Copies of this chain bind each other. A is one copy, B any other.
């Protein structure tokens, strides 16, 4: 459905604009603390399932399929509220998490600060052992959370 700019920006019709690859950006923010946790893409199915189930589902571009966050690691994201931006090509998910959610073992994926053009500094500690989380289920590749 094509809608005009004013309706898109000022209206109250949800009209998510997927890009040419059928994807829309989703930013996840912890509702309680405001901490930005990660960003990923959703296709139409992932967005529908997220709204219907209240659990964050993305589309994995590397694996070419739906990525039900937490399916392997147990680190689900419970989606409390969803917001859209002005031109409806980006979503903001306010979520609850149990512990960490980054596959490297940190709570947020943004655990390093950029100091200058070439260097980073870690600003957080790991909150879980990813090796343990991803080996829970035998036969799983353990590649992503």
Interface of A with B (CB < 8 Å)? Answer: 9-14, 25, 27, 29, 33-36, 38-39, 48, 51, 81-86, 90-92, 102-104, 106, 109-123
Contact = CB atoms under 8 A, between A and B. Distances in A.
A116 B51 CA distance: 7
Nearest to A103: B86
B104 A9 contact: yes
A119 B14 contact: yes
B83 A123 contact: yes
A10 B121 CA distance: 10
Contacts of A116: 14, 51
Given A13-B120, A14-B118, A104 B81 contact: no
Closest 3 CB pairs of A and B: A34-B34, A83-B110, A85-B109
A113 B109 CA distance: 24
A26 B141 CA distance: 30
Contact of A14 (B13, B29, B102, B120): B120
Contacts of A123: 83
